[in-house]
Amino acid sequence: MTQHYQAFIFDMDGVLLDSEPFWRRSQIELLREMGHTITIDDCIANTMGKRIDDIAKCWIKRFKLALTVEELAQSILNRTITLISKEAIATEGLHHLVGYLKTTPLKIGLATSSSQAVIDAVVNTLGLNEEFDVTLSADEVVNGKPAPDVYLEVCRRLEVDPTLCFALEDSLTGVKAAVASGAITIAKPEFEGADFDIARYQVSHLSEVIDIVDQLI
């Protein structure tokens, strides 16, 4: 029996654009201004793919910062948005992939750990304002990735069955969330590792995503 696939859901950071360097720069610069040193590797290991409040909690706990979670999160957020608005470039092949998806019956969603303000900055800068049927920040659900909440809520709002949706992720945290939701998970891994084998498919370029979807729908 033919499956009637219903939606394609994008992660944002690392998928629509290589935004992780902006997030890392913001964290590194802000903590340096407070007298603390972290590296890119520290960011990858501790905060990649997480919600902004979880990122702030991580550094407040580690360095015993005299800041609230809200204060540090807002500072990281503001600096990241400024960098994205000035320097963001779409991932190679993104516009071609979105254009292809628009020719299919699939609804298009966005499920990200980033806040709505970052979503707005990204879609505006990349010219994607009209392309998504639903965009959702994990700030709006109880549990952030790797819990599946944000994917399940996007599917609820799209009125689709998660098991009949594609999800495209780059971080292990995100891949775990997508897999837990039941979605057909496509990983474009940020780094090599057997942990990403939990995804149904792995790609190195967005053009390969078109091939996967085209064979199934």
Distance of CA 173 to the CA centre of its chain: 10
Q: What is the CATH number of domain 20-87?
A: 1.10.150
Where are the chain's structural domains?
A: 7-17+90-216, 20-87
Mean pLDDT computed over 168-181: 96
CA distance 113 to 104: 26
Contact in structure between 144 and 54 (CB atoms under 8 Å): yes
Give the pLDDT confidence score for residue 2 in this predicted structure: 52
pTM of the model: 0.85
Tokens found for residue 43: 């960011």
CATH 3.30.70.141: does it fit domain 7-17+90-216?
A: no
* Sign, Cα dihedral of 41, 47, 50, 51: negative
How confident is the model over 79-107, as pLDDT tens digits?
999 999 999 999 999 999 999 999 999 99
Write the single-letter amino acid at 50: K
